[in-house]
Amino acid sequence: MTKPYANLIGGEMISTTATMDVVNPATEEVIGTVPACGKDELDRAVAAARTAFRSWSKTPIEQRRAVIQAISATIKENADELHRLLTAEQGKPHQQAIGEIIGASMMAGAQSTLELDDEVNEDSDARISRTRRVPVGVVGGIVPWNFPVMMAVQKIVPALLSGCTIVLKPSPFTPLTTLRLAELIKDVVPAGTVNIITGEDSLGPLITSHPGIDKITFTGSTATGKKIMEGASRDLKRITLELGGNDASIVLPDADVEKVAEQLFWSSFTNAGQICVAAKRVYIHEDIYDELSKAIADYARTVKVGDGAQQGTGVGPVQNRKQFERVCELIQDAKDQGYQFLLGGDVDPSGTGYFVPITILDNPPEDARIVAEEQFGPVMPLMKFSTDEEVIERANASDYGLAGAVWTKDTDRGVRIAEQLETGTVWINEYMHLSPFVPFGGHKQSGFGAEYGKEGLLEFTYPQVITVRKNAAV
Ligand code: NAD
């Protein structure tokens, strides 16, 4: 029987008569039903968050840290159950699901140690002035389907640490693990501080425009990010937007082909390519192009595509039918244009599950859709380049600016290239390394503001300056 899941509002698990089905992308079976909330449930959640904000915002930061550490511990203690559920709803292989769950626990624990101290601006004979950080209020958190637990925790933790309360909406495609987590932390967090409600995409704009919400923190597509910015503008809500990317990975001619092939593969195909910072365009210097592209394709042949719940699976299904159809459309376009494939490209439309074979394209042109658009699936275009200047220009020819990577033994040359890339993060000789203490955010249309680190935390606060005139004539 399909398991029903409930929402967390004001410290209680609640159900609704309207529900939505959640499908396992590997089997296409319904594995859970969740509440389909509308305005009434949202109003209830916002009211609970507003009430809780009165006391939570005045709770000493040490107590707020302790609550976050308890959330971190709860996630870790229940990692076995949570990661299995995550694989079932999201599709990622078990070892990647456990990575997400343990990663979320570690991120929460580490971020609980961040400080929000006052800063002294001036301490002179005339006055003392300091900036304190006050919480913005009730936060609306909106989460995508690729890393549902990590993204949810990444919104809950800075909200709570800064003294805000939160109403969080998971993606309708992947709400189950977050709702199980809601059940587990129900008695760990003070009632109303964390509220988790589920609904269709249409619940999103209701959150964005709700007058009782003071800030939106959103991770998802650039198209939705623009709508959120528009909705939030009505009452000037604060916003943090982590959006799409079309990250370029640049491999210089001195890179060791055997050593980088496997790393390049996983930088594109982890989570079936459904990562904002996946390498979505791989530029290889012409001197090593043939050798490296062959090595990547050879390695790719050793990786099994299948149900993430099965032992040995390296690449799971695409998470949902809409995304599956989009990836298939991009592959079909590449075929129609006559581009060359090193591997894959043939999707079985009659099969069960949203499986796309590992697909590698051989030097498609820069204006190919698979190069110019964010594919968000297990498809990797490899392109040849000749000079640093040329590859920098090609990498920057995008509206996105999330991240990128350079692979080289000459790290000075790597840094010179990195400094000319128009992205929020550039990794040299590694990929996707995110730290709880380092800000992460996109340039151009990849985002607005930052998450992680002190900079991410400050986005949940207003600065308030208090100035005291000394020896005043009053
Ligand atoms: P999406 O924008 O379709 O949906 C994200 C969330 O927004 C979901 O919860 C959805 O229900 C909600 N939503 C949909 N329409 C809305 C609206 N009009 N107003 C408010 N909320 C609305 O994104 P997705 O398909 O779930 O995720 C994939 C995208 O997310 C990719 O572009 C990927 O690059 C991006 N992403 C970015 C980061 C990052 O940190 N920069 C991380 C992960 C994913």
**What are the chain's domains?**
3-243+446-465 (3.40.605.10), 248-428 (3.40.309.10)
Looking at ligand 1, which atom is closest to the CA of residue 451?
Answer: 40
Ligand 1 pocket check for 220: Cβ under 6 Å: yes
Centroid of ligand 1 to alpha carbon of 92 (angstroms): 18
> What φ, ψ does residue 6 adopt, rounded to 5°?
-115, 170
Q: What are the beta bridge partners of residue 138? A: 165
CA–CA–CA angle 274, 280, 286 (5° rounding): 155
Q: What is the Å distance from ligand 1's center to 464 Cα?
A: 32
- Residue 405's pLDDT is 98
For ligand 1, is residue 87 a contact (CB within 6 Å)?
no
Q: What pLDDT, on a 0 to 100 scale, did the predictor assign at position 18? A: 97
Q: Is the CB of 172 under 6 A from ligand 1?
A: yes
Q: 73: which residues sit within 8 A by CB, 6+ positions away? A: 105, 109
The residues that are catalytic are: 242, 276
By CB neighbour count within 10 A (0-12 exposed, 13-18 middle, 19+ buried), where does 401 fall?
buried
How confident is the model at residue 349, as a pLDDT?
77
**Cβ(123) – ligand 1 distance below 6 Å:** no
CA of 20 to the centre of ligand 1 (A): 18
Confirm or reject: Cβ of 160 under 6 Å from ligand 1.
no
What pLDDT is attached to residue 406? Answer: 98
List the residue whose alpha carbon is closest to atom 40 of ligand 1.
242
Tell how far the Cα of 221 is from the centroid of ligand 1, in angstroms: 4
200 in contact with ligand 1, CB cutoff 6 A? no
Regarding the beta carbon of 185 and ligand 1, being less than 6 Å apart is answered no
Residue 1: what pLDDT? 57
What's the per-residue H, E or C state across the chain?
CCEECCEEECCEEECCCCEEEEECCCCCCEEEEEECCCHHHHHHHHHHHHHHHHHHCCCCHHHHHHHHHHHHHHHHHCHHHHHHHHHHHHCCCHHHHHHHHHHHHHHHHHHCCCCCCCEEEEECCCEEEEEEEEECCEEEEECCCCCHHHHHHHHHHHHHHHCCEEEEECCCCCCHHHHHHHHHHCCCCCCCCEEECCCCCCHHHHHHCCCCCCEEEEECCHHHHHHHHHHHHCCCCEEEEECCCCEEEEECCCCCHHHHHHHHHHHHHHHHHCCCCCEEEEEEECCCHHHHHHHHHHHHCCCEECCCCCCCEEECCCCCHHHHHHHHHHHHHHHHCCCEEEECCCCCCCCCCCCCCCEEEECCCCCCHHHHCCCCCCEEEEEEECCHHHHHHHHHCCCEECEEEEECCCHHHHHHHHCCCCCCEEEECCCCCCCCCCCECCEECCEECCECHHHHHHCCEEEEEEEEECCCCC
Q: Is 204 in the pocket of ligand 1 (CB under 6 A)?
A: yes
| Ligand 1 contacts CB of residue 144 (under 6 A) | yes
Q: Whose CA is nearest to atom 22 of ligand 1?
A: 204
pTM greater than 0.75 (yes/no): yes
Q: What tokens were used for 342?
A: 């090193």
Buried b (16+ CB within 10 A) or exposed e, 225-247: beebbebbeeeebbbbbbbbbbb
Residue with CA nearest ligand 1 atom 42: 276
- Ligand 1 pocket: which of 201, 281, 438 to mutate (most atoms <8 Å of CB)? 201
- Rounded to the nearest angstrom, the distance between the alpha carbon of 150 and the centre of ligand 1 is 14
pLDDT averaged over consecutive 10-residue blocks of the chain (474 residues)?
91 97 98 98 98 98 98 98 98 98 98 97 98 98 98 98 98 98 98 98 98 98 98 96 98 97 98 98 98 98 98 98 97 98 93 97 98 98 98 98 98 98 98 97 98 97 98 93
| Residue minimizing CA distance to atom 21 of ligand 1 | 204
Distance 283 CA to ligand 1 centre (A): 27
Q: What does the pLDDT read at residue 126?
A: 97
Q: Please tell me the distance between residue 448's alpha carbon and the centre of ligand 1 in angstroms.
A: 14
